[in-house]
């Protein structure tokens, strides 16, 4: 299984039978190396409704017939746009043909802004635990530091965790280091940084300070084999 990072919070998982995209903010994201008009996807997993996470999900799903799995209110809303969605909620899990998805808490906001400025409530934000072939990937989503991250680390054998470090909108580097300790993943990868000036950070410096497991700052398009 190949797991790759594509800027901001975009993560791609290729299992051999499915291609899974997390939070495909591609168009308008200068840090992303993917092309929304050609990227493959069987499944799109969304942590919350902010535009820099929903991104190109609808357009990709219409082109590829990908299933969108998202928090309930967001999934219901996106379903009105002519795509197939599966609604879930915090604490819920489900076995799909591509793997098991479980939504965790995240302390953040969740709303979607239409082109005309209309703001749609997107339900509660979340993180996502994806288990495929005995490997568990934790996309923490956008969140502040909170102590239940330690519980998630104790309850799950996490192979790789994608942890926001950008500050301002999410945890900053210092809090994210605590989160990495608590989550206790074998590999911790920083995300949600350097897309905008207000979240500029040094991912290599952060990764070098991770004490639990291995910290690894992936370059855009770089992958890890699990």
> Within a domain: residue 221?
no
Percent of the chain with pLDDT over 90: 100
Q: Is residue 224 part of a domain?
A: no
Q: What distance lies between CA 56 and its chain's CA centroid?
A: 14
How many domains in the chain? 1
pLDDT digits (tens, 9 = 90+) for 158-213: 999 999 999 999 999 999 999 999 999 999 999 999 999 999 999 999 999 999 99
Mean of the pLDDT values across residues 103-112? 97
Residue 101: domain span:
2-216
Please report the pLDDT score of residue 95 as a whole number.
Answer: 98
The answer to whether residue 225 sits within a structural domain is: no
Whether residue 27 is contained in a domain is answered as yes
Is residue 142 in some structural domain? yes
In-domain check, residue 93: yes
Residue identified by tokens 């309850």 is: 155
Report the alpha-carbon angle 6-225-86, nearest 5. Answer: 60
Residue 9 and residue 191 in contact, taking contact as beta carbons nearer than 8 Å: yes
* The pairing of beta strand 214-215 with beta strand 187-191: parallel
Residue 175's H or E segment, with its range, is helix 173-183
CATH, residue 89: 3.60.15.10
In a domain, 226, yes or no: no
Token code pair at residue 135: 């490997």
Question: How much is the mean pLDDT over the chain?
Answer: 98
In-domain check, residue 92: yes
pTM: 0.98
């Amino acid at each position: 299984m190949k797991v790759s990072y594509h800027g901001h919070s975009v993560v791609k998982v290729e299992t051999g039978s499915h291609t899974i995209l997390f939070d495909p903010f591609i168009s308008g994201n200068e840090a992303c190396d993917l092309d929304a008009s050609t990227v493959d996807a069987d499944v799109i997993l969304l942590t919350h409704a902010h535009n820099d996470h929903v991104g190109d999900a609808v357009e990709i799903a219409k082109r590829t017939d990908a299933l969108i799995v998202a928090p309930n209110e967001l999934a219901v809303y996106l379903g009105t746009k002519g795509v197939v969605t599966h609604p879930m909620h915090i604490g819920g899990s489900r076995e799909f043909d591509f793997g098991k998805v479980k939504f965790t808490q995240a302390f953040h906001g969740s709303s979607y802004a239409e082109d005309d400025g209309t703001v749609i409530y997107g339900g509660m934000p979340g993180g996502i635990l994806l288990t495929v072939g005995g490997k568990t990937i934790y996309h923490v989503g956008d969140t502040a530091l909170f102590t239940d991250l330690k519980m998630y680390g104790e309850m799950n054998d996490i192979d790789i965790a994608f942890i926001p470090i950008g500050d301002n909108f999410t945890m900053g580097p210092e809090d994210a280091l605590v989160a990495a300790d608590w989550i206790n993943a074998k590999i911790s990868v920083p995300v949600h940084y350097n897309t905008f000036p207000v979240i500029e950070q040094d991912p290599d410096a952060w990764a070098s300070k991770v004490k639990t497991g291995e910290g690894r700052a992936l370059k855009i398009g770089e992958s890890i084999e699990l």
